[in-house]
C-alpha cells in the first residue's frame, strides 16, 4: 500500500445524503485493515467536516489520501468562509439556524471535535470565497 | 448487557433487528449529534428523539450497535434501510428520554466517561 486517493462530491442541497463520503471512506479503511482507532477518528472528524460543508457552505468536495502511517483529508468548499476562525473553534459557538438545530446540529461542537480527533488541523478560509480544511490522522 | 436486554428494560419494540446479542456497556442520550460525537468511549447505544438519517450516520461513525427512539417515535423507510445496511438495531420505546436513560442506568449501563 503506497498511497490510495479518493475524491467525493458532497452535495449541498440534500441533508439526508450528508455523511455518505465519510461512510465510504470508513468502509474503505476497514477493507484495508487499517487501525480501528484511527478509522474511528478519521470517520468522526471527516463526518463533522462533511456536515459543516453541507449546512454552512452549500456542499463541496472531499479529497482523501490514505498512506500506511496516516490519512490526509482535504474538505474544500466555495461557501461563505469563516470570518473569525478562533471564535468558530470555541466549544458552543455556532451560527446554525433553528432549522439546522432541529435536525440535531448546531451545538458548536463540530470543529472542537475535529481538533480533538485529528493529529493536525488547518483551516484556510476567506470570507465570500470559501473554506478548505486540511486534516491529518496518524495510524499510530 | 446485550441489545436484547434493552428491549426488556425499555419495553421496547423492534423496528429493525441486527445483532441482538451484541454486547453493550455504555450509552448516550442526546438530540445533538456533535454532543454524541464528542465522547468516543465505546459507546454502543444511542437514545434520541430525532428521526433523520444523520442519527444513523452518527451511530455508524461511532461504531454503535443500537439506536433507541424515545417517546414512541418511529423513523421512515430510508432511515430503517440505512440502519440495516450498517448492522445497527433500531428500537422504539414509549418512555421519554429521561426515564429511558434512567432505566438503563439503573440496570448497569453507564455514560462512557470515567466520572459518569
Ligand atoms: N465550511 C464552513 N463554511 C462556513 N462556515 C463554517 C464552516 N464550518 C464551520 N463554520 C462556522 O463555524 C461555526 C462552528 O462550527 P462547528 O462545526 O464547531 O459548529 P456547528 O456546525 O455550528 O454545530 P455542530 O458541529 O455542533 O453541529 C459554524 O456555526 C459556522 O459559523
Ligand atoms: Mg459542525
State the nearest Cα–Cα gap between B6 and chain A, in angstroms: 24
Specify if B88 maps to a domain: yes
CATH of the domain at B24: 3.40.1390.20
A129 CA distance to ligand 2 middle (Å): 19
In a domain, B55, yes or no: yes
The interface predicted TM-score of the complex, written ipTM, equals 0.93
Please compute the mean of the pLDDT values over residues A35-55 and round it to a whole number: 97
CATH number at residue A115: 3.30.565.10
Domain coverage including residue B65: 3-106
Residue B66: φ, ψ to 5°: -150, 140
Are the beta carbons of A103 and B50 separated by less than 8 Å?
yes
Which segments in chain B show pLDDT lower than 50? none
Amino acid B92: pLDDT: 98
For A84-130, how does the pLDDT look when each residue is reduced to its tens digit (9 = 90+)?
999 999 999 999 999 999 999 999 999 999 999 999 999 999 999 99
Q: List beta partners, residue A70.
A: A138
Domain count, chain A: 1
> What pTM, to 2 d.p., does this model score?
0.96
CA distance A40 to chain B (A): 6
Name the A residues in 35-74 with CB < 8 Å from any B CB. 40-41, 43-44, 47-48, 51
Looking at residue A140, what is its pLDDT? Answer: 78
**Cell 485493515 appears where?**
A33
User: Among the atoms of ligand 1, which is closest to the Cα of residue A55?
Assistant: 21
Task: Give the pLDDT score at B41.
Answer: 72
Q: What is the pLDDT of residue B113?
A: 64
Decide if B78 is inside a domain.
yes
A98 lies in which domain range? Answer: 4-138
DSSP H helices, chain B, are: 3-9, 33-37, 53-61, 77-85, 97-106
- The torsion angles phi and psi of B17, rounded to 5 degrees, stand at -105, 130
Cα B48 from Cα B69, distance rounded (Å):
5
Contacts of residue B33 in chain A, CB cutoff 8 Å? Answer: 51, 104-105, 107
Share of chain A above pLDDT 90, in %: 97
- Counting the structural domains of chain B, the total is 1
Q: Which numbered atom of ligand 1 lies nearest the CA of A130?
A: 3
Looking at the domain assignment, is residue B101 inside a domain?
yes
Amino acid at each position: 500500500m503506497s498511497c490510495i486517493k479518493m475524491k467525493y462530491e458532497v452535495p449541498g442541497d440534500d441533508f439526508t445524503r450528508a455523511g455518505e463520503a465519510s461512510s465510504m471512506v470508513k468502509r474503505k479503511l476497514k477493507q484495508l485493515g487499517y487501525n480501528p482507532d484511527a478509522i474511528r477518528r478519521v470517520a468522526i472528524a471527516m463526518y463533522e467536516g462533511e456536515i459543516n460543508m453541507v449546512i454552512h457552505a452549500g456542499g463541496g468536495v472531499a479529497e482523501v489520501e490514505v498512506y500506511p502511517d496516516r490519512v490526509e483529508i482535504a474538505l474544500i468548499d466555495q461557501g461563505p468562509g469563516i470570518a473569525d476562525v478562533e471564535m468558530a473553534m470555541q466549544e458552543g459557538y455556532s451560527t446554525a439556524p433553528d432549522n439546522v438545530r432541529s435536525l440535531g446540529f448546531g451545538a458548536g461542537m463540530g470543529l472542537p471535535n475535529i481538533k480533538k480527533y485529528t493529529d493536525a488541523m488547518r483551516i484556510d478560509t476567506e470570507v465570500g470565497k470559501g473554506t478548505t480544511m486540511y486534516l491529518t490522522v496518524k495510524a499510530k | 448487557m446485550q441489545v436484547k436486554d434493552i428491549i426488556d428494560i425499555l419495553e421496547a419494540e423492534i423496528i429493525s433487528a441486527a445483532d441482538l446479542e451484541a454486547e453493550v456497556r455504555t450509552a448516550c442520550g442526546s438530540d445533538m449529534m456533535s454532543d454524541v460525537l464528542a465522547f468516543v468511549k465505546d459507546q454502543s447505544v444511542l437514545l434520541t428523539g430525532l428521526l433523520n438519517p444523520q442519527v444513523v450516520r452518527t451511530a455508524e461513525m461511532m461504531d454503535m450497535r443500537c439506536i433507541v427512539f424515545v417517546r414512541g417515535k418511529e423513523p421512515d423507510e430510508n432511515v430503517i434501510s440505512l440502519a440495516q445496511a450498517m448492522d445497527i438495531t433500531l428500537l422504539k420505546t414509549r418512555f421519554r428520554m429521561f426515564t429511558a436513560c434512567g432505566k438503563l442506568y439503573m440496570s448497569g449501563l453507564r455514560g462512557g466517561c470515567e466520572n459518569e
